[in-house]
Amino acid sequence: MKFTKMQGAGNDYVYVNCFDEQVADPQQLAIQVSNRNFGIGSDGLILIMPSQLADVRMRMFNSDGSESEMCGNGIRCVAKYAYDHGIVTKTEISAETGAGILTLQLFPGADGKIAKVRVKMGAPRLTRAEIPMTGDPAAQVVAEELTVLDRTFRITCASMGNPHCVIFVEDVATFPVATYGPLIENNPLFPRRTNVEFVQILSRTEARQRTWERGAGETLACGTGSSAVTAACVLNGLTEKRILNHLSGGDLEMEWSDDGSIYMTGPAVEVFSGEILL
């Protein structure tokens, strides 16, 4: 099977062009290719597929084989692949995802290939029913207390097509993400589990984020997570609506626009291509 390894802000996936290739069991393939010792090595698997509703379709599988609705860093790489490999020829495209159809603006670099992508991520979904969370379906979760082990956090939750729990901390660099991340991911509050973002506010226009991704563990970046963080920062009165978010793998430009949508701009990089024996 032919594949391409790509990364957006260090969030790396194995991409398969399903215009040409067939994948019979994507869950098992995701586990196989993601293994960094015995496979290709990645945070998961992304399939680039034909769509009857948009220019391309993305399906995304975590490294544990579970399917996720959406991946912000992944969708930028899908757009880059589609343009650079001739699937599309325009610089504004639509992409079908498990979270709906998204609009993407593509920015070519000096070599004519796509260097960065701006994604209209849509409006954050803020009720417990939409996230989803247990409790009053119509209620929002902003600075709500959650006790885990020896700590009580104030959580703010949102869905960007997939669930996110945002927690503000004083020093994100030293925070024990691997301790609290999986416990919050699997907390009974979240019937579909959740991604968890630990965030340090640097100024009214800057934040720093570390992410514990549902089904993958800590990753270098999470685009839907960065979108949820942008919403959480504003809802808690901590930042302006436009911020620069520093993730472990790179920076994302974020904006919660007056049209209600969150926009994310960031890099997309093709690392290498190859073939794997299955």
Q: Which residues are catalytic?
A: 71, 222
CB burial of residue 55 (10 Å; 0-12, 13-18, 19+): buried
CA proximity to 92, closest of 72, 118, 74: 118
Q: Which helix (H) or strand (E) holds 156?
A: strand 151-159
Cβ within 8 Å of residue 78, ≥6 positions away:
15, 46, 48, 56, 58, 95
Instruction: Specify the DSSP class assigned to residue 223.
Output: H
CA distance 77 to 267: 8
Tokens linked to 23: 């994948």
Question: In the structure encoding, which two tokens stand for residue 30, read together?
Answer: 């995701």
